[in-house]
Copies of this chain bind each other. A is one copy, B any other.
């Protein structure tokens, strides 16, 4: 987790109900559960309990990227974990890699990319809508991620980066970007397209082949959660039936 300031100027805290907070060391914390003084916040470490004047407890924990996403201002839909996981595992993106994503949305997948490419890597995130790019920028800033750059820019006007290891597109017409994407990827790099409708995947697939991409595959995943009751174990009654399809292609 590369959020440098944690354990430093701010603390990530969870209350008795599981609600999460970022505590600033420069201010007292006020809530319906009582007050915690900034001196107490300052000297606390991971695992410590902070107690309000009403005797309610808050625990300092080491956060992960999903904790930040949970706290994020989200005014647009975000990619869900099962799909982010497929992108991470199938592309093998990691430390030191250069990644581009478009559109940013609230910035959830950019945060995951930033989390794994680390300080030696870089994430460029294009978002055409000014309001969304502002939200994402504020989210990134408040988590002090230095390796993510949000650009309020239409990716159709051209990709400005070269030698990218991964380009991830969550756009309505991703197939318009495919040729430019090919030129901006490293040999060995991946283009990944996320699409809710199979039609978009089908069109993109055709253009990918013409553009020279190889190792093309289309994947969807279904995640099932189980629950344990006194009678035994069983999958939950309801599940997510669909989020989107993922189209993977590699420049070789």
Contacts and interface: CB of A to CB of B under 8 A. Distances in A.
Interface of A: 1-2, 12, 14, 18, 46-47, 59-67, 81-82, 84-97, 112, 115-120, 163, 165, 186-190, 196-202, 205-206, 214-215, 217-229, 231-243, 245, 252
B197 A234 contact: yes
A89 to B, nearest CB: 3
Given A188-B12, A218-B226, A241-B224, A94 B81 contact: no
A241 to B, nearest CB: 3
Nearest to A215: B18
A249 to B, nearest CB: 13
Of all A-B residue pairs in the complex, the 4 with the closest CB atoms, nearest first, are A239-B241, A85-B89, A85-B85, A94-B115
B224 A220 contact: yes
B237 A198 contact: no
Contact of A1 (B84, B165, B214, B240): B165
Contacts of A95: 1-2, 95, 115-119
B221 A241 contact: no
A90 B223 CA distance: 12
B233 A197 contact: yes
A107 B228 CA distance: 29
Q: Which of A47, A163, A188, A206 has the largest number of chain B CB atoms within 10 A?
A: A188
Q: Which of A163, A220, A234 has the largest number of chain B CB atoms within 10 A?
A: A234
12 contacts: A1-B165, A2-B120, A64-B188, A81-B90, A82-B89, A84-B85, A88-B89, A94-B115, A218-B226, A218-B227, A222-B223, A225-B241
